[in-house]
Each structure stands twice: as C-alpha cells, then as structure tokens.
Structure 1
Amino acid sequence: MAEMLSLEQYGIRASEVIRNAPPGALYEHAIHFDKSAAISNTGALMIRSGAKTGRSPSDKRVVDLPQSTDDIWWGDVNVKLDERTFDVNRERAIDYLNTCDRIYVVDGFAGWDPKYRINVRIICTRPYHALFMHNMLIRPTAEELANFGEPDYVVFNAGKFPANRHTSHMTSKTSVDLCFERKEFVILGTEYAGEMKKGIFSVMNYIMPKQGVLSMHCSANEGDDGSVSLFFGLSGTGKTTLSADAHRRLIGDDEHCWSDDGVFNIEGGCYAKAIGLSAESEPEIYGAIRYGTVLENVVYDPVTRAVDYDDVSITQNTRASYPIEYIDNAKIPCVGGHPNHVIFLTYDAFGVLPPVSRLTPEQAMYHFISGYTAKVAGTEMGVTEPQATFSAGFGAAFLVMHPSKYAELLAQKMEAHGAKAWLINTGLTGGAHGTGKRMSLAHTRGIIDAIHAGQLDGVETVADPVFGVGVPASVPGVPDSLLTPRNAWADKAAYDATAQKLASLFQENFKKFAEGSSEAIKNAGPKA
C-alpha cells in the first residue's frame, strides 16, 4: 500500500495524495484512469505523452533574481522570467492540481554519491509520470523514505493544464519554469515526461559547479581494472551504443558528475531511444523492456501487444524508461573512479574528421565548448547536404552557467587525474554525404577497445593540417587508409574544400564563446 501524504504546505488539498506507489499500483491506476495505457507483450507499460512528444526548449524559463543572476548564462537557452510571472504560473499549476481526484508524489534522490545527492519531490497527476520518475530518480530504501524529510527541490507537474499565453514572457501554451531561489520547477502545457528528468539535470548543472563538481551530459562505463571512460556526444553519435559494452560495466547512460572522489551517475534509470530497437542491434536495452518499464509513444499490435519499434507514425522520439538495474552489466551503486579517458563522439556527415584523434587539453576544451556533430537534412528538391550542429558541452539545452565554466572544470579535472581526451568520428569517411560511407561500427568499437587497452598510448601521431588534432599513425584492426581522412577521398580537391568549409563553421560558431575563453583555447580550433 502506498503511503498517503499531506501537501498542505504547497497549498495542495487533494483528497487523495499517493506517495511512492510501487510499479504494480501505478500500472493499475494507469490502466484504469488513462485511456492511452496498455501493457506490452513483454510486460512494459505503453503510454502516450499527449500532444508534445519531445522537450520544449523554447518554452524553458529561469527566474531572474539577484542571488543567482550573475551565475546564469542568459540567452536562448536560459530565458529570463520575472518572479511575479513565476508566481502566476505556480498558482495556476496549484489551482489545477487542486481540481484533480488524486495526486502522485515521488520522493527520490538525484546523485549516487551521498555527499552530493539532493532530495527531489515530484508532484504529478498521471500514473505514468510517477512511474517514469520512480525509474529515473534513485529509489530510496524504506528507511531512507521514512527519514526523507523536506525535499531540496520540488517539481510541480501540471502539464495537462496549459499556461496562459497572454502572461508576460509566455510564447505558447507550454511553460517550463525553474526558480533556483525557491528551489521549485513548474511544468504547464506539456505532458512529455522528459521535461521532469531534464529539469533535475538543469538543477544539478547549477548547484554542482558551485561545489567544484563538474556535471556532464555523457555516458560512463568501467572496465574490470576499474578504468573509467566518459562518452560525450549529441543525439545519433553512438553514445548509448558505444558505452553499452559487454566487457565493461555501465555506470550510466546520460547524466554524470565528476567530483574530487571520482564520477557518479545522477540518475537511477535510463531513458533510451526506442526507434529501430532490436535484440540484435542493442540487446541490453531490448532486454530491459519488461515489467516496470515505461514505453512512451510507441506503436503496437492491438491483438498481440507486440511493439513495432520501426513505426514512427506518432514520433521519431519513441522512448523507454527503466531502472538501471534492468541492464545486466550495470554497476550498482553507480559510481566509479576518476576517468582515464574522455571520449567526444561526433557524426561528421562532411566526412573530413579522422576516425580517431588525440586531443591536447586546450583542444579538449575547444571541442567540448563547440559540441559538434552534423546531420543530413533533405531539401525541397530532394537534394541532401550535411548540416553542422553545435551544442556547447554536448548538451547546451541543459547548461545553466556559461559553457566555459564547465570547460574549465573539465580541464582542471583531466589535468589533475591524467585523463586522456579523444575525438572519434562515427560518421562518414571517403567523402561527404552522397559519396562517403558510414564508419564501420566494428572499426569504431575496435578504436575504443584499442584506447581502453592502452594500445594507442605510445603510437606516433601526426597533426591534421586543418583541424590540428593528433591522428595516430596506426590503430590495430583499422586500415591505415582510413586514419587520414584526405587519403580516403578520391577527389583531394573536394576534400580540401569541404575541410575548409567545416573549419569555417567551427570558427563562426566559436565567436560567441571567444570572450570567455583563453587565447590557448581559441588557438586550439581548426585553421580555415
């Protein structure tokens, strides 16, 4: 039986408040009260998130108050909101919550290291949201729950109710508002569960650097010898696939912190993309789709309840949320030592970056601040061309402080603990999109295995003439012809022009970060 709880201190007077309900009870409530809920043939809870099937970054607001204003990276990522408007939205959320028959509360922790973890309270109206955060937060023991006390941060999820678009600073019916002074997060007008998860990540991106701890949008794994690797990368670069290694234990798939004691996962679960999922391609994730897992916005056979992971008619952003212990080789508790390797993954659709290169500390900071990958966008005439994407820290949407703050912490920790930095291109080789070929997954895994085995430590490197990165002369199991990108192109002039084009895009993007960066970092970028 789930515990009942009073929420009077927030002005919430619902007749039924259910605290930390177990998955079975939340399944029952979802099936009974949510018409989109169904159970898959493997026992997962399938659910629809409503009109929004992804995050709404343009609707994110941060309250501008004197105590925090100088710490925050104001602009497109962190849009200012005045306190009065926050109060209006908060009251609107509370008023809606008071109309609901039942409220679900999830109390849990963010951060596996007890020294740094925070107590988080989720207040929501959909059973699926409660189950999602039951999976994504670190689940307290019965004793920890009894001694939970007051939370450090509270999330008011009134996402079924719209924001008032006529309120100042509102641009739509959706508003996701964070107030660091009040330690509150208010959600209106979106039922996409990922907003709660990323809201907590934004909180950690604010409070951790103040304690000298680097918060990171990356995955992490650990070898049998205790060596730790971090994998940074934007969507589609292979971060989840490459960190899921049968020979290494998974510390976490998405959000981590690096303290003076080592690394720790922020979350208690994983939120994996489900598009194209199969037992062959990603057996660890496929095996986690079972009782207790939330499957968001997937299409399924109404008779057999089998999921069609290739059907993207609802959204391409189909997701699975499950506790991290559902991954067989997960490391519990999700903590590790200081990283030996920091690996930046990029899908270079221009086909000009090397498959692997060694970075100097300054280059590591430059590429961390740049956060480059490329995607292929179709034009109206059916012509396709690469499109560069830059996201500072490989997760600009969640950064609260200026990217240079996180880059400086990364450089300090890498230097203090001797971590090596690598840039790995999981994209194209031998040409840009249309003529180039996708880098073989076997070759990429071979590169990462060689890094972990120390086989690249003593290998001579040659500086790339355009990008300046150190390209190894040889990598076990990888053809030498692939290691130097220009050699893999039949048309050398086309390579030179394309490399210069990408170098110029890097330089143009970095202009907005130049003011907060040292000369050494500015000089570590490509030469166009």
Structure 2
Amino acid sequence: MNDVRIKNEVSQLLQGNNIKTQLSVPQLVEKVLARNEGLLTATGAICATTGKYTGRSPKDKFIVNEPSVADKIDWGTVNEPIAEEVFTNLYTKVLQYLKEKDEVYVFKGFAGADKKQQLPIQVINEFAWHNLFVHQLFIRPNEEELANHEADFTVISAPGFKADPEVDGTKSETFIIISFEQRVILIGGTEYAGEMKKSIFSVMNYLLPENGILPMHCSANVGREGDVALFFGLSGTGKTTLSADANRRLIGDDEHGWSTNGVFNIEGGCYAKCINLSKEKEPQIYDAIRFGSVLENVILHEESRIPDYDDGSLTENTRAAYSIQAIENIVDPSIAGHPNTIVFLTADAFGVLPPISKLTKEQAMYHFLSGYTSKLAGTERGITSPEATFSTCFGSPFLPLPATTYAKMLGDKIDEYGSRVYLVNTGWTGGEYGTGKRMNLAYTRAMIQAALEGELNHVETVKDEIFGLDIPLHVPGVPDEVLQPIKTWSDEEAYLTKARELAEQFRENFNKFNNLQTDIAAKGGPIV
C-alpha cells in the first residue's frame, strides 16, 4: 500500500472548496436544518433519524490485516481481517465520493482527557448532524490546541456511499474498517452515529495498553473525599442510573483509561439511551438534552416538537448525545485518582447471584473476563426464557487485543493500588424472572453506598456455596435476609438447581480462556 498516496488523498480532499472545518454548534445546527437532515425539538436539540441501521453493525466491522498488527490482533468473529487492497480501493472511492459533495464537515479534537495520553483525531463527515454529534462526543480543543492540531487518527464517515459486496469485498453495503498503519477509520453505508464513537474506542483499546494504560468500558465518578469509583455493566444492569449520584461528581459515563496517574475519561460527552427517559428518574440526562444536543431516532410530537421518550416505534435504542459540560455535577477536566472501589453490575434473571459480594483479585479477573448478565424473554426474537449472556470485559465488540491482556492489566492494577471490587446483582431475587421480583433499587443503592464508603471493608461474610463469593452478612439499610439468595427462595432445592445451571454456563463460557497461564478459573470461578 502506498502510504504517501493515502495521506495525499486526504490532504487533497481537505483543501477542497466544499470543506467546512470546525464549525461552531450554532453553525452546525443551521446547516442541519437548512439541509433537512434533522428537526429542531422543543428543547432546542437536533433530532435525526438513522434509517434502517438503528444500532451498530458488528458483522460489517473489519481491521485491515497489516504486517505491523497481524500478530497482535485477536482475530475472529469480533475482529475480522480484511485485505489491504480492499481498504485502499474503498478508501479511494469514498474520498472521490466526498469530493463531489457540495459540503463536507471536519471536526478536529481529541480522545483522552489526560493530556499525556491524548489521541489527536479529526473526523470528516458527509452529514452536518454527524459532525455536530462528534463535536459533542469528543474533546474539543481550545484556540491554541486547534492552531497546533495534527491528527494522529482520521475518521472518514460517508453514510451515503454504499459498497457493492461483489465488487468491493465487503459483506454488505455497510463497512466500518480500521487501518492501524494508515491511522484511518473508514465508515460507509450506515447513518448510525455511534459507529464513529465506538470505532475510536476500539482504537484506544489497541493503543493504550502499549503505554501500560488499561482502557475500560465503564462509568466513573468521584466522592467528596476524592474517592474514585468505577461501574462496569452491560445494557440493562443499571450502570447509568447507579453511577449518577447527587453526592458524587461524574468523571464520565462510558469510556475510561486507567494510567499510573489515575483514571481519565476518553470522551468529552455522553451518549445516553433515552427510551422511557423521564425527568423524575434521570434528571441529569433529561436536562442535558438542550440546544446543541443530538437525539437519534426519537419520535417527536408533530406540532409541539416535544420528544416522546416512551415511543420506541423506530427502535428501543433511542439515543441522546451531549457534551459532558451539559451535566452540572462533573469533574472538569475529566481526570481523577486511582479507583478505591470497582463495581461489576449484573442483572441476573436466574435470581441466584448475591445482591452484593466481595471479590478477590482472581474473582475480579474471572468476572471481568466473563462479563455476565441476562437477556430476558421478549427482548429478542426467539427468547422465551431468561438466557445467560457474556460480553468479555463488559465490552467484547471493542477489544482488538486478546481479552486476557486487559484482564491481566486489571489484576495488576488491583494489586498495585489496592482497589476493592464488588459484584452487584441488580436482577432478580426470591426466584428467577417470572416468579421472583426485581431487586429493590433502594437496597441496591444502599449496598453500593456502603461499598463506596468503606463500610463493607471489615464486615463479617459468608461464602456462597456455589460461586465461592463472599457475601456480607450485614449492610446498613438492607434486611439481612435479602443478602443471601438461598434464603429468599421458598424452595432451596430449586435454588440450588438453578444456581448449578448458571455456574455450568459460566464454566462453559470460560473454556475459551484455557490458554490463560494462571489459575483464574480455579480461584475465581464457581466452586461447585
């Protein structure tokens, strides 16, 4: 591949008369409305729809199989290789496509709030609303930073360019391709803005470990005494709700790095789900959706333009993108010290995991690699009863390196900085989904507060006989009988049967990590 030619083609594109660089929020809003790319809502936000792609397209995501990365990438169904020539040909076609557009929008900024670890990026957009999206989601430069900005990675997003799989070597009209040698992310055929955000996160998941930094798919906040907490959890586990705390300041809601200096936000904004959003339940998110924010696939009342957050007719994956500055209770800049407390959230629909348990380092690595939660009946076609789902490191779609790389880094950092780790089940108690009930949110909040304030550091515990987890016998504000799952079931044998069933699924899932040169499975996994 001709590296010089690739770079020259971008330079030529950026010198075109159709290029609009670093437009302000008001300018971008004007462009969106003038080009009929979206509507202005009653709150002042822009609302756009993304067509048939209302979420990520993981089967259309590729990494270019280049010599410098070939032996490093964890190739497979998540990280699919694509030939250099396929990338080069598509790259040339996309740039020619953008050259012929009347306007193309460029954003220059950063990923990584820690200036020592920042990745300078530029994003080239066909759509003005996509450029507004990245303006809100990434870190915006000041005047001096902009004057000296040299992009180390470039995102090129052309939703209107659709690939021909037979000619272009893709699987469909859609493609998300990362070239680590060319420092380019090429996106086409999809209007879903989240592809840009998550592609940069994938890049950071590759680059940061080279500098001894652990990239993490988690939210983070800091208490009044400077104590830092991380919250890992898949969709539906309560990560956003539980990390939003009036008594703690938000560092970030989704992506972070953990360096020798502490924790830093990778982003400059938030990308929150807003299905069933209400001011009562999530006031911070609700109030952040104002002028400059972007709504995706949210239905508006026709005349008033008031968003109907309960309407999921386009998708359940409705989203709001806004600058972190739209949240009042934040850490600015988005950096803090080393985590005192790490919380793994799971919504166990089998009703057998404890509502809170203390984890050893090996158990933390085991549950980090497992990334367990449940899919519920009715959430996807064909699911008629709860199903265990596992997402490695709570973010498997975004991990270019072997998952064990991240788990080992986590274990080392727990050792070095003495972080306490807890597994918190926000799912079912007293029985599985359908017979039991969802964990009381007030109890969950009380448990997390006790963990964050160090009240569980020396409390007496009992070991779970199936999973080997240390369960606190007392937590302020929580009835003792709630803490041990077996005591909440009316039929102990039914509980043990269901617990063994889940333990076996954990074991089966963990078989893929048999190459791990430690005894994590023996010390961290189920004991029955």
The reply to whether TM is greater than 0.5 is yes
Change in Cα spacing, 1:403 to 1:381, as seen in structure 2 (3 Å) is closer
Distance 2:479 2:126 in 1: 55
In structure 1, stretches of 5+ residues that fail to align are 1-5
Q: Secondary structure at the match of 2:376?
A: strand
Change in Cα spacing, 1:332 to 1:190, as seen in structure 2 (3 Å) is same
Q: Does 1:21 align with 2:23?
A: yes
Q: Does 1:34 align with 2:36?
A: yes
Distance 2:142 2:193 in 1: 24
Distance 1:247 1:118 in 2: 31
Find the counterpart in structure 1 of residue 135 from structure 2: 134
Find the counterpart in structure 1 of residue 209 from structure 2: 209
Letter in 2 for 1:26: L
State how many pairs are aligned.
521
Q: Does 1:489 align with 2:474?
A: no
Out of 382-391 and 302-311, give the one that drifted further: 382-391
Find the counterpart in structure 2 of residue 99 from structure 1: 100
Deviation, 1:521, is 3.9
Find the counterpart in structure 1 of residue 232 from structure 2: 232
Deviations 1:315-367 (A, max 9, x none): 11100000001111011100000000111000000000000000000000000
Find the counterpart in structure 2 of residue 356 from structure 1: 356
Find the counterpart in structure 2 of residue 292 from structure 1: 292
Find the counterpart in structure 2 of residue 508 from structure 1: 508
Aligned-residue identity in percent:
50
Distance 2:401 2:423 in 1: 24
Q: Secondary structure at the match of 1:166?
A: helix
Letter in 1 for 2:88: D
Task: Tell me if structure 1 keeps the 8 A contact 2:165–2:173.
Answer: yes
Q: Does 1:112 align with 2:106?
A: no
Task: Tell me if structure 1 keeps the 8 A contact 2:125–2:158.
Answer: yes
- RMSD (Å), alpha carbons: 1.6
Alignment of 1:184-333 (within 5 A): 184-333=184-333
- Displacement over 6 Å in runs of 4+: 379-383
Q: Secondary structure at the match of 2:154?
A: strand
Q: Secondary structure at the match of 1:123?
A: strand
Distance 2:14 2:90 in 1: 15
Deviation, 1:65, is 1.4
Letter in 2 for 1:246: A
In structure 2, stretches of 5+ residues that fail to align are 1-7
Distance 2:381 2:297 in 1: 31
Alignment of 1:378-389 (within 5 A): 378=378, 384-389=384-389
Deviation, 1:146, is 1.0
Deviation, 1:381, is 11
Distance 2:191 2:130 in 1: 8
Distance 1:517 1:26 in 2: 52
Change in Cα spacing, 1:73 to 1:267, as seen in structure 2 (3 Å) is same
In the superposition, the TM-score normalised over structure 2's length comes to 0.96
Deviation, 1:380, is 11
Task: Tell me if structure 2 keeps the 8 A contact 1:49–1:297.
Answer: yes
Distance 1:68 1:256 in 2: 23
Find the counterpart in structure 2 of residue 415 from structure 1: 415
Task: Tell me if structure 2 keeps the 8 A contact 1:340–1:418.
Answer: yes
In the superposition, the TM-score normalised over structure 1's length comes to 0.96
Deviations 1:351-390 (A, max 9, x none): 0000000000000000000000002123999984111110
Deviation, 1:491, is 1.4
Letter in 1 for 2:351: G
Task: Tell me if structure 2 keeps the 8 A contact 1:12–1:97.
Answer: no
Deviation, 1:13, is 6.0
Find the counterpart in structure 1 of residue 80 from structure 2: 79
Change in Cα spacing, 1:108 to 1:379, as seen in structure 2 (3 Å) is closer
Deviation, 1:50, is 2.1
Deviation, 1:191, is 1.0
Distance 1:384 1:272 in 2: 28
Task: Tell me if structure 2 keeps the 8 A contact 1:221–1:228.
Answer: yes
